[in-house]
């Protein structure tokens, strides 16, 4: 392989140039090969790609299966058709209305998704598509029934009626804008939050992400894009009938996304080209279309679970490895003063008589403890004594059965966990909750979600203020990764880190959220002795920032070194509390730690 080719493959800078060349070729193509029929097919495909790009946001990134997107396209198409034919609207406001209508219906369609599992929800969306299909034929006064709406005029701009060439260019431009917007959106706080909601809702919640809002955003954006595609579809075909929107129309979009590569930016485009355009152009293949889909689905499930784009990515990686270009990219340049990790004002924690039962098990039977602002407190106790449950109560992950929890004097009882997180409570989990496919850096960046203010539109348009905010978050994330000692692994997929380092990454993510209270659940589990020492230093350093730390820990020496106070739990009750020196000389504590409960009984008697 020559140097030029190597440079092409090796440098990410060539990508924009290649994409620009591709776009230019697509804009110019009609002059060379543009027949009416081809333009018709290409424009139709562009409309389909729009739907698929939107569906990919929901399905690929959001993990929600919709078998009803065809109905949203129908709503868009009929809105434009009826507004233009029956009410003489012009195309542009009609399109806006189509997007709003589809988005509104999409929002309603989303509601069951918050209560049902993925597959039940998928069935509901299928039923929804059936209902819309039924309405198209039955609600004759509005929809003209089986006959559909005919004679939809072509859009006009300043008195000029768009030709099929113009329509193709319009559709192509909309696709390019959609891809750019989607790329921006996915790179932003919304992309990370969406993937977090898909891969690890618990981690997302702990980072302050409201699952419902993020899912709703994905539905609304996705539905609006389907509505826009419907508008194009209507003016391109000039006729819409209920027959255009049968159930397989909806399934077709999901196939394009899944076959092309769900959760890959280019997946829907590749899916549409390979599975719509190619069979359409090779007329000999047309009658085989369903068979081709079936076989392709089977093969891809077996050999390329991330679709065609996933398979291409894997091949690309192999090629780069063979050429010796496979180094992990360096972390983004840091014009960032890494040494300046800002102080944080810690919050006081007060837990009063907290109770928690799981069925018949009393996990916490009236636990109280107080942690002064800015100090480090340990919770120790045997397995099953209720330590994790207590952290879950403080962070709101489980509802409380009795008692009170105050953070800086304010009750957090009954608050949703993501709200508690947003109010300044960071936490880690006994088993690290990482987003394994995202880089360590993106995992840390998720922690910035609550502090970031950019809306979805600003993110998709990559407005200057959105970019500034992203740079600031990036600086924070790198700084805290450096703080926990992971800066050099920032660009690696988090799932590839060993367990101990995933814990550190999780701590960095919590720190990026500037927690006033940080809850750490057994951060030392499974660490080597050397790592244990470093962890001790790290937690001491976190304490020195000013944050209040509550740490569940088995290593008593570590506890003695870094904690001002300790609470010992046993079977859901406080066995002892005080300074480490007081507590660890306590006879019952010693006995409990020896695991000999009979000797506790003897000591007490
Ligand atoms: P620790 O963290 O101290 O090891 P836990 O707080 O995890 O202990 O558990 C305390 C008790 O509560 C145990 O008996 C455990 O089985 C029970 N428990 C914890 N979480 C749940 C749950 N989600 N459902 C049912 N029982 C639970
Ligand atoms: Mg535990």
In this structure, how many other beta carbons lie within 10 angstroms of the beta carbon of residue 50? Answer: 29
- Splitting the chain (605 residues) into consecutive groups of 10 residues, what average pLDDT does each group show? 53 77 91 87 93 94 89 96 94 97 93 79 86 88 85 89 92 96 94 94 95 92 97 94 85 88 90 81 71 78 80 84 71 55 88 94 94 96 94 96 95 95 96 93 95 91 92 91 91 91 95 96 87 91 94 90 94 92 79 49 33
What's the confidence (pLDDT) of residue 602? 34
Query: What does the alpha-carbon distance between residue 70 and residue 247 come to, in Å, rounded to a whole number?
Result: 7
What's the confidence (pLDDT) of residue 205? 96
Closest-CA residue to 364 (of 379, 344, 349) = 379
Beta strand pairing call for 425-427 and 517-521: parallel
Give nearest CA residue, ligand 1 atom 21: 358
Say if residues 91 and 84 touch (Cβ distance below 8 Å). Answer: yes
Q: What's the 388 CA to ligand 2 centre distance in angstroms?
A: 4
Which atom of ligand 1 is least distant from the CA of 552? 2
Query: What does the alpha-carbon distance between residue 233 and residue 53 come to, in Å, rounded to a whole number?
Result: 16
In this structure, how many other beta carbons lie within 10 angstroms of the beta carbon of residue 400? Answer: 18
Q: What's the 554 CA to ligand 2 centre distance in angstroms?
A: 10
Closest-CA residue to 31 (of 154, 139, 128, 165) = 165
Say if residues 68 and 128 touch (Cβ distance below 8 Å). Answer: yes
Burial class from Cβ neighbours inside 10 Å (0-12, 13-18, 19+) for residue 409 reads: exposed
Longest dimension (CA), the chain: 98
**Hey, is 363 helix, strand or coil?**
strand
Q: What's the 5 CA to ligand 2 centre distance in angstroms?
A: 54
Q: What's the 444 CA to ligand 2 centre distance in angstroms?
A: 23
Give nearest CA residue, ligand 1 atom 25: 358
What's the confidence (pLDDT) of residue 599? 34
Query: What does the alpha-carbon distance between residue 36 and residue 23 come to, in Å, rounded to a whole number?
Result: 20
Query: What does the alpha-carbon distance between residue 397 and residue 389 come to, in Å, rounded to a whole number?
Result: 9
Which atom of ligand 1 is least distant from the CA of 381? 3
Which atom of ligand 1 is least distant from the CA of 390? 6
Give nearest CA residue, ligand 1 atom 5: 386
User: Which-ligand-closest: CA of 385?
Assistant: 1
Which atom of ligand 1 is least distant from the CA of 521? 2
Q: CB-side exposure of 306: number of CA atoms within 13 Å?
A: 13
Which of 354, 358, 360 to probe ligand 1 with, by most ligand atoms within 8 A of CB? 358
The position carrying tokens 């499930």 is 301
Closest-CA residue to 153 (of 40, 231, 76) = 231
The position carrying tokens 């990482």 is 434
Closest-CA residue to 407 (of 248, 199, 296, 550) = 550
Q: Please give the angle made by the CA atoms of 575, 414 and 212, to the nearest 5 degrees.
A: 125
Beta strand pairing call for 349-358 and 425-427: unpaired
What's the confidence (pLDDT) of residue 605? 32
| Residues at CB less than 6 angstroms from ligand 1 | 358, 361, 363, 381, 383-389
Which of 386, 552, 569 to probe ligand 1 with, by most ligand atoms within 8 A of CB? 386
What's the confidence (pLDDT) of residue 528? 83
Which atom of ligand 1 is least distant from the CA of 569? 3
Give nearest CA residue, ligand 1 atom 14: 384
What's the confidence (pLDDT) of residue 12? 60
Closest-CA residue to 564 (of 348, 374, 353, 350) = 374
Tokens of 49: 């790609």
Say if residues 402 and 454 touch (Cβ distance below 8 Å). Answer: no
Give nearest CA residue, ligand 1 atom 23: 358
pTM score above 0.75: yes
Say if residues 489 and 432 touch (Cβ distance below 8 Å). Answer: no
Q: Please name every residue paired with 377 in a beta bridge, in sequence order, or none if there are none.
A: 550, 565
Say what percent of the chain tops pLDDT 90.
Answer: 58
Query: What does the alpha-carbon distance between residue 410 and residue 569 come to, in Å, rounded to a whole number?
Result: 25
Q: How far is CA 223 from CA 69, 218, 520, in A?
A: 7, 8, 40
Query: What does the alpha-carbon distance between residue 152 and residue 142 come to, in Å, rounded to a whole number?
Result: 15
Which atom of ligand 1 is least distant from the CA of 359? 25
Query: What does the alpha-carbon distance between residue 451 and residue 460 come to, in Å, rounded to a whole number?
Result: 18
Give nearest CA residue, ligand 1 atom 19: 389
What's the confidence (pLDDT) of residue 17? 86
Rg of the chain over all Cα atoms, to the nearest angstrom: 29
**Hey, is 148 helix, strand or coil?**
coil
Give nearest CA residue, ligand 1 atom 17: 363
Neighbours of ion ligand 2 (CB under 5 A): 387-388, 430
Alpha-helix residue ranges (DSSP H) falling in 521-569: 529-545, 556-562
Residues in the chain: 605
Give nearest CA residue, ligand 1 atom 20: 389
Query: What does the alpha-carbon distance between residue 415 and residue 404 come to, in Å, rounded to a whole number?
Result: 12
């Amino acid at each position: 392989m020559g140097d030029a080719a190597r440079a092409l493959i090796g440098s990410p800078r060539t990508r924009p140039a290649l994409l620009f060349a591709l776009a230019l070729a697509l804009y110019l193509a009609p002059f060379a090969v543009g027949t009416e029929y081809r333009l018709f097919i290409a424009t139709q495909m562009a409309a389909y790609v729009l739907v698929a790009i939107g569906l990919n946001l929901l399905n690929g990134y959001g993990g929600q299966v919709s078998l009803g997107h065809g109905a949203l396209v129908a709503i868009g198409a009929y809105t434009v058709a009826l507004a233009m034919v029956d009410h003489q609207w012009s195309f542009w406001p009609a399109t806006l209305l189509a997007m709003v209508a589809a988005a509104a219906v999409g929002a309603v369609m989303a509601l069951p998704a918050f209560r049902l599992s993925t597959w039940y929800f998928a069935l509901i969306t299928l039923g929804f598509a059936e209902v819309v299909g039924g309405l198209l034929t039955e609600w004759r006064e509005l929809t003209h029934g089986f006959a559909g709406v005919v004679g939809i005029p072509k859009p006009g701009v300043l008195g000029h009626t768009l030709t099929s060439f113009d329509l193709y260019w319009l559709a192509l431009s909309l696709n390019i804008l959609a891809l750019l917007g989607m790329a921006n959106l996915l790179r932003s706080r919304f992309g990370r939050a969406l993937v977090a909601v898909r891969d690890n809702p618990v981690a997302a919640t702990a980072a302050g992400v409201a699952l419902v809002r993020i899912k709703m955003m994905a539905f609304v954006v996705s539905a609006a894009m389907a509505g826009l595609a419907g508008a194009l579809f209507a003016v391109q075909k000039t006729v819409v009938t209920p027959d255009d929107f049968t159930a397989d129309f909806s399934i077709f979009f999901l196939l394009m996304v899944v076959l092309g590569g769900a959760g890959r930016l280019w997946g829907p485009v590749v899916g549409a080209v390979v599975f719509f355009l190619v069979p359409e152009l090779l007329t000999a293949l047309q009658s085989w279309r369903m068979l081709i889909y079936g076989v392709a689905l089977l093969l891809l499930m077996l050999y390329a679970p991330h679709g065609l784009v996933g398979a291409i990515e894997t091949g690309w990686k192999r090629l780069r490895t063979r050429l010796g270009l496979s180094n992990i990219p360096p972390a983004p340049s840091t014009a960032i003063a890494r040494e300046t990790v800002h102080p944080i004002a810690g919050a006081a924690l007060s837990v009063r008589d907290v109770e928690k039962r799981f069925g018949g098990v009393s996990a916490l039977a009236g636990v109280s403890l107080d942690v002064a602002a800015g100090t480090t407190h340990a919770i120790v106790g045997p397995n099953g004594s209720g330590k994790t449950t207590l952290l879950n109560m403080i962070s709101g992950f489980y509802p409380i059965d009795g008692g009170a929890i105050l953070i800086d004097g304010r009750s957090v009882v009954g608050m949703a966990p993501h709200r508690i997180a947003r109010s300044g409570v960071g936490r880690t989990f006994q088993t690290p909750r990482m987003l394994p496919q995202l880089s360590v850096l993106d995992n840390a960046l998720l922690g910035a979600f609550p502090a970031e203010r950019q809306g979805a539109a600003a993110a998709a348009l990559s407005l200057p203020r959105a970019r500034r905010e992203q740079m600031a978050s990036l600086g924070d994330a790198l700084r805290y990764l450096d703080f926990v000692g992971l800066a050099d692994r920032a660009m690696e997929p988090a799932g590839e880190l060993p367990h101990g380092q995933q814990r550190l990454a999780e701590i960095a993510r919590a720190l990026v959220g500037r927690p006033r209270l940080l809850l750490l659940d057994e951060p030392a589990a499974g660490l080597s002795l050397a790592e244990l020492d470093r962890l001790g230093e790290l937690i001491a350093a976190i304490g020195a920032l000013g944050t209040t730390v509550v740490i569940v820990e088995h290593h008593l020496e570590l506890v003695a070194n870094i904690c001002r106070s300790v609470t010992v739990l046993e079977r859901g009750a406080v066995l002892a509390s005080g300074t480490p020196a007081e507590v660890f000389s306590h006879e019952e504590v010693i006995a409990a730690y020896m695991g000999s409960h009979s000797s506790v009984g003897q000591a007490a008697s």
